[in-house]
Structure 1
Amino acid sequence: MTHADAQDRCTTWSYDAAGKLVERVDANEHTLRYRWDKLGRLIGLENENDSKATFLYDPVGRLLEEKGFDGLVTRYQYDPDSGRLASTQVGQRRIDITFDAVGRLASRTARQGDQRQEETFAYDGNGKLIQAINADSKLQWFHDEAGNLI
């Protein structure tokens, strides 16, 4: 499949027999090749410089680790009870997240070394975000009776 932009420069996408994207060549002739596992999950990318990015999954299909083109590794951990994402870590930077009983984001805590920043979130009875608080600020949102942001 090919798309020409307003300047008549083309980006081309190529697919395999199963319909999976295998290559994209953009208007600047930058190439990105895609690799998939037998379950249809993206496991690798390779660019025109032969740099690679890889993706690793757990047995139930959740992303556990990604290694970027720059070599940085991001690791993902999941809550064993809910299966929801619980933390991400890149090098020394870790972000922990928690959810309330109905699955809404309740808190986000970023740590790097001995530095820490926590954000908490609150919702109204209709499940709309009404408050986000961290050490430096408190943001509030208000809604009318119809639930529209005002």
Structure 2
Amino acid sequence: LGATWHYTYDPAGRLVEETDVDGHRTRYAYDAAGQLVWSVNAAGQAVEYGYDAAGRLSWRRADPETATFGYDEQGRLVTAASPEATVAVSRDQQGR
């Protein structure tokens, strides 16, 4: 009881650091558009994020692997692919 997590935010209100009850920190960085582009945990494991022109997540890299994401004309996620697997979403004409 009494365990506390600490959170630090930048002037725009974005989370830039969180510290867990054991003192392990995770840091976050953002681009000029305010999108998350990088995170690193206490073990030094970094994750990078990339976005398409519409601001949607298009890839996520956690060395050595990269996952990619694809969207349909309505901006709905339709594919997610990593070295281990690919998931494809199909919808009927009503978008279900």
In the TM superposition, residue 74 of structure 1 has moved relative to its aligned partner by 0.5
Distance 2:11 2:62 in 1: 28
Q: Counterpart in 2 of 1:82?
A: 33
Equivalent residue runs for 1:36-51 within 5 Å: 47=2, 51=3
Question: Could you say which residue in structure 2 is the equivalent of 1:70?
Answer: 22
- Provide the C-alpha distance between the structure 2 equivalents of 1:102 and 1:69, rounded to a whole number of angstroms: 37
What is the alpha-carbon distance in structure 1 between the residues aligned to residue 93 and residue 81 of structure 2? 24
Unaligned runs of 5+ in 2: none
TM normalised by structure 2 equals 0.89
Residue 108 (structure 1) aligned to one of 30, 38, 60: 60
Once the two structures are superposed, the pairs formed by residues 1-150 of structure 1 within 5 Å of their partners are 30=1, 47=2, 51-79=3-31, 81-91=32-42, 92-111=44-63, 116-148=64-96
> Structure 1 segments of 4 or more deviating over 2 A?
none
Structure with greater strand share of residues? 1
Q: Describe the SS at the equivalent of 1:127.
A: coil
SS in 2 for 1:52: coil
Give percent identity, aligned residues only.
Answer: 35
Unaligned runs of 5+ in 1: 1-29, 31-46
For residues 108-145 of structure 1, the C-alpha deviation after alignment (integer angstroms, 9 at most, x for no partner) is: 1113xxxx111000011111211111112111110111
TM superposition shift of 1:102: 1.5
1-structure distance, mates of 2:12, 2:80: 32
Q: What CA distance in whole angstroms lies between the structure 2 residues aligned with 1:109 and 1:100?
A: 15
Aligned length: 95
- Cα displacement (A) at 1:52: 3.3
